[in-house]
Amino acid sequence: MYTFDSRVRYSEVGVDGNMTIESLLDYFQDCSTFHSEDIGLGVDYLNELKIVWMLSSWQICVNRYPHLCERIVIGTAPYEFRGFIGCRNFEMKTADGEVLAYANSIWSLMDLVKMAPARPSEKMLAGYALEEKYPMEYAPRKIAMPEGGRKLTPFGVKQHHLDTNKHVNNGQYVRMAMDCIPEDFRIEQLRVEYKSQAKLDDVICPVVAQSEDGCLYTVSLNKEDGKPYSIVEMKGGVL
């Protein structure tokens, strides 16, 4: 497993002094980027071939959120290639080996010229050494949006939402969804399904649904026509 060490920064914690779910997701995303860059399969390589890895789904499970200044180790390992699909696991531990969080992710390789799926090159297949699938309970990639959700105020995509691909960054959808639920809701499992790309000045129309027991929120971040850009499911409870 590829790993890097870090320490929880003040900018990564919430009001309780613990890392936020958004920062945890950013760590996992950065870890996969570092891995690709360090083996010569990073942004420049993808740009040269005019291809890009697009995230299809996240499943992140949290045992404990690390505290401010706590030392952590973040790791990732690919475990499967299927045609244009690539699958990766992630893990965050303390310096002593306590598992704080772990995750599964599914990615699609896209040809930016043809705007169609692309198969990984031989260099990519050789560079990403596959490892054993992480021992976790795997949820389906697709997320069902419950009926009867509550519509919230639409908002526009701003410059700070975008990444180098000039569309809304994966983590930004989670930040948008977090704004739709109570601030004191602690997430124990986060699932995200990415369905379409939102770009600068697009309008996002959020719809939020809550389970009867209050332990599950599902947020659909929709286009103006009602079709989703992304669906975010958050399981947990109030602090």
- Rounded to 5°, the CA angle 218-224-229 comes to 45
* Amino acid identity, position 55: L
From the options 1.10.10.10, 3.10.129.10, 2.170.190.11, 3.60.20.10, give the CATH code of 150-238. Answer: 3.10.129.10
Instruction: Give me the helices (H) in 10-87, please.
Output: 21-38, 43-49
Please indicate whether the domains covering 2-127 and 150-238 agree at the CATH topology level.
Answer: yes
Which CATH number applies to 2-127: 3.10.129.10, 3.10.290.10, 3.40.50.720, 3.40.50.300? 3.10.129.10
pTM of the model: 0.93
* Per-position pLDDT tens, the chain of length 239: 999 999 999 999 999 999 999 999 999 999 999 999 999 999 999 999 999 999 999 999 999 999 999 999 999 999 999 999 999 999 999 999 999 999 999 999 999 998 899 999 999 999 999 999 999 999 999 999 999 899 999 999 898 888 777 778 888 899 999 999 998 999 999 999 999 888 999 999 999 999 999 899 999 999 999 999 999 999 999 87
- What are the domain boundaries of the chain? 2-127, 150-238
Question: Cα separation of 128 and 80, whole Å?
Answer: 10
Taking alpha carbons only, the member of 87, 23, 89, 93 closest to residue 63 is 93
Identify the sign of the CA torsion 152, 158, 163, 168: positive
